[in-house]
Amino acid sequence: MPVTRRGLLRATGIAGAALLVGGRVGAGPRARGPWLDWLADNRERVAAVVDPGAGPALVHRPHAPQPLAAAITPLHLAAHELSGATGPVPAADWDRHHLGLDDGAHASALADLGITSTDGATADDPHHPVDLDDLASALVRRGDSAAADLLLHRLGEPALRAAAVRLGWPDAPVAGALDHRVRLVLGRDAPGHLTDPRVRLEVLGRLPQTPSTYEGLRPWARTTWHGSADGLGRAHRALATDPALPRCRAWLGAGREAPEGVLGVGLAGGALPGVLAVGGHARFADGRTGVVAVLLAEVPRERHAAAREFEDLVLGALLDGALLADLRAALA
């Protein structure tokens, strides 16, 4: 069955679709709208792969390294599911990977699980048990980098590298978000942050002087882990089709209603100052598997504030041929 316009809007939650794409799908020439205008004016800052599984696809700078932000987290999800690891961990183990500078993601993740946190950064009860699957869910819902780092720490780097190979993305970056944040605070790498109390005290002492504004954090965000749209797209194809990863599909698709003609969608995105990144997949009832990955660099603050509309556009381009044509025209 075809993907209908009504079903698409229901699935993506596009509230202002007419504004975003400038009119009715299937109509004649349309006004581009602010996101498509920005993409057209900044093609050298965009890397994109959109493949609906049939018909024309979009490929734009697919191998260019771009910042990934939390769009990398499906790698952690796959490593966790493939490991078969179960059981709870103390909330304190989760909290120790949190340094702040995450726009409240960790605090929101704690609240989602009903864990009280007076200071908004750590659990009041450090022994509160947290299931690893709940951490995986928090990683998708909130982009909580502390959850990603805890999974990396427990599973080990070899497990994530093995998962990257299985996902068809062997050169995926495997690095802890905490390491990047410590480098921001200290101006140098300090991998002993978790184990050396002297380094931790130095970090806490210098944290108040750390840049915290959007513009102040952009130079640092440029140095965080990079990857390609091609690699992220290949990973999402494996996530959509690998029979060993059903829970990954459930985590990535949670809360997303699939429109008519689509069996399921999954999406994971990330944002840092100046950076927006989204990867996703769709499994169509006619047997097709579609993937999308769009990575943006040097995004100004006013466009960054419209990140939700960007996410809607990216998923819409995968599900709606007219939106894909708009995106292709913007990047042509």
- 242-274 in b/e form (b: 16+ CB < 10 A) is beebeebbbbbbeebebbebbebbbbbbbbbbb
- What confidence category does residue 101 fall into, taking pLDDT thresholds of 50, 70 and 90? confident
Reported pTM: 0.88
Indicate whether 18 pLDDT > 80.
no
220: its two tokens: 């640092």
Task: Report the candidate in 299, 323, 171, 309 with the shortest Cα–Cα distance to residue 235.
Answer: 171
Give me the half-sphere count of Cα atoms (radius 13 Å) on the Cβ side of residue 168: 14
Residue pair 224/181 in contact (Cβ under 8 Å)? The answer is: no
Q: For position 180, what pLDDT does the model report? A: 92
What percentage of the chain exceeds 90 in pLDDT?
Answer: 78
Note the pLDDT tens digit of each residue in 185-244.
999 998 888 889 999 999 999 999 999 999 999 999 999 999 999 999 999 999 999 999
Give, for 177, the enclosing helix (H) or strand (E).
helix 177-186
Confidence label for 23 from pLDDT (cuts 50, 70 and 90)? very low
Domain ranges of the chain: 5-68+226-331, 86-221
Which of these, 276, 283, 288, 259, lies nearest to 314 by C-alpha position?
A: 276
DSSP 208: G
Least confident window among 18-22, 29-33, 95-99, 208-212: 18-22
What pLDDT shows up at residue 4?
Answer: 35
Predicted local confidence at residue 213, as pLDDT: 93
Specify the pLDDT at position 22: 25
3-state secondary structure at position 35:
helix
Q: Residues 73, 65: contact at Cβ < 8 Å?
A: no
Mean pLDDT of the chain: 88
